[in-house]
């Protein structure tokens, strides 16, 4: 029979709110499991009682746990990459469902996982944000786009999301072009990632859109939003991806300099404006303490990876870009290099 709680209590670091509920008799944390004992058998449909979540209170990311219900006992099973002792000291649980069971709403707030540290519970969440390269323009199979490939390379400890939108800019250079006005931007913020990998900036360099003041100011707004109150890590492409277009033989980034490849000879001003854009990115990286990644050097040697149009990578190019990103993450996250 349901009982009325009149007094809040604290259990394993979480704050309880008064509500119609069963009384918790005991809660013990083992290795990848928490056993919760109530004073009476749990009522109703057991399937309705699956809304249990667990978190490492040092980081504050709650993730779903699998609940096994047996009379007055609930056993929660969850992912963990920590020792049993670390879990016992730091793992907390809460119930978020509508069925009247004692609800642990949690007194901790979400925090991003610092680079180089795994949460005891859950996964490191990575959001790939940016323009058409992140979106995967020209690659029909979504599983062959760079964020999806990166997710497979990183493995089960990570969750990777793709939030790319073709033709979008870091600054409000043209109406409707700013990334901060797109649905993918809102989705990326809602993803509450620990790490945001950002490739914005190359579209800003077109002569018809070039507005360095806007690019700097509005890119700063995006970085601040991505970092958020949880202080997520924002990784900037300090060296933007290669561009094989332009006047034949004119070396730029790297330009149309490879024989046998018929890239566009059109020069939209990107090559001339790119050094200034990369200086803006470097300035913002210093100001906001953002690490930077080189998406250019290794990719610029292989025009065959850009046969789409000279700017967008093929599936093979996306795979190499994912590998470069993986190897950048390998050091802080203690992963085995795939070089």
CATH of the domain at 297: 3.40.50.1110
Whether 176 and 251 share a structural domain: yes
Whether 49 and 194 share a structural domain: no
Determine the 3-state secondary structure of 195 from DSSP.
strand
Q: How far apart are the first and last CA of the chain?
A: 61
Least confident among 64-78, 184-198, 322-336: 64-78
Whether 151 and 90 share a structural domain: no
Q: What's the whole-model pTM score?
A: 0.86
What is the rounded distance in angstroms from the CA atom of residue 126 to the CA atom of residue 268? 33
The answer to whether residue 109 sits within a structural domain is no
For residue range 9-19, list pLDDT tens digits in order. Answer: 233 333 333 33
Whether 134 and 281 share a structural domain: yes
Q: Are 95 and 52 within 8 A, CB to CB?
A: yes
Whether 217 and 282 share a structural domain: yes
Backbone phi, then psi, for 124, in 5-degree steps?
-75, 125
Determine the 3-state secondary structure of 247 from DSSP.
coil
Whether 168 and 273 share a structural domain: yes
Whether 77 and 183 share a structural domain: no
Whether 30 and 138 share a structural domain: no
Q: Which residues pair with 63 in a beta bridge?
A: 54
For residue range 31-88, list pLDDT tens digits in order. Answer: 999 999 888 887 655 565 678 899 998 888 888 899 888 888 889 999 998 899 999 9
Whether 14 and 129 share a structural domain: no
Whether 251 and 321 share a structural domain: yes
For residue range 108-142, list pLDDT tens digits in order. Answer: 778 899 898 888 888 999 999 999 999 999 999 99
**Domain extent at residue 282:** 124-330
Whether 131 and 183 share a structural domain: yes
The answer to whether residue 103 sits within a structural domain is no
**Cα–Cα nearest to 162, from 324, 137, 178:** 137
The answer to whether residue 110 sits within a structural domain is no
Task: Kindly tell me the burial class for residue 7, based on how many C-beta atoms sit within 10 Å of its own C-beta (0-12, 13-18, 19 or more).
Answer: exposed
The answer to whether residue 111 sits within a structural domain is no
b/e code 258-275 from CB counts within 10 Å (16+ = b): beeeebeeebbebbebbe
């Amino acid at each position: 029979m349901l009982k009325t709680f009149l007094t809040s209590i604290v259990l394993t670091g979480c704050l309880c709110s008064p509500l119609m509920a069963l009384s918790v008799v005991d809660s013990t944390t083992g290795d990848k499991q928490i056993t919760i004992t109530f004073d009476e058998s749990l009522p109703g449909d057991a399937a309705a009682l699956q809304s249990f979540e667990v978190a490492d209170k040092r980081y504050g990311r709650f993730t779903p746990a699998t609940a096994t219900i047996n009379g007055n006992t609930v056993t929660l099973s969850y992912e963990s990459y920590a020792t049993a002792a670390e879990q016992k000291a730091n793992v907390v649980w809460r119930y978020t469902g509508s069925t009247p069971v004692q609800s642990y709403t949690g007194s901790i707030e979400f925090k991003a996982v610092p680079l180089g540290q795994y949460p005891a519970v859950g996964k490191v969440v990575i959001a790939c944000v940016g323009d058409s390269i992140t979106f995967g323009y020209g690659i029909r199979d979504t599983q062959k786009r760079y964020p999806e490939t990166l997710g497979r390379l990183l493995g089960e400890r990570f969750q990777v999301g793709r939030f790319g939108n073709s033709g979008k800019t870091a600054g409000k250079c043209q109406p409707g072009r700013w990334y901060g006005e797109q649905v993918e931007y809102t989705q990326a913020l809602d993803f509450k990632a620990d790490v945001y990998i950002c490739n914005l900036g190359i579209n800003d360099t077109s002569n018809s859109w070039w507005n360095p003041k806007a690019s700097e100011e509005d890119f700063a707004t995006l970085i601040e939003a991505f970092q958020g109150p949880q202080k997520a890590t924002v990784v900037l492409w300090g060296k933007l991806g290669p561009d094989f277009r332009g006047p034949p033989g004119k070396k730029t980034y790297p330009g149309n300099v490879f024989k046998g490849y018929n890239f566009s000879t059109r020069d939209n001003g990107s090559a001339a404006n790119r050094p200034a854009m990369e200086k803006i990115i470097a300035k913002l990286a210093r100001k906001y303490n953002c690490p930077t990644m080189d998406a250019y050097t290794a990719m610029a040697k292989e025009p065959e990876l850009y046969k789409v149009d000279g700017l967008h990578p093929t599936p093979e190019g996306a795979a190499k870009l994912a590998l470069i990103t993986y190897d950048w993450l390998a050091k802080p996250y203690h992963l085995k290099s795939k070089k």
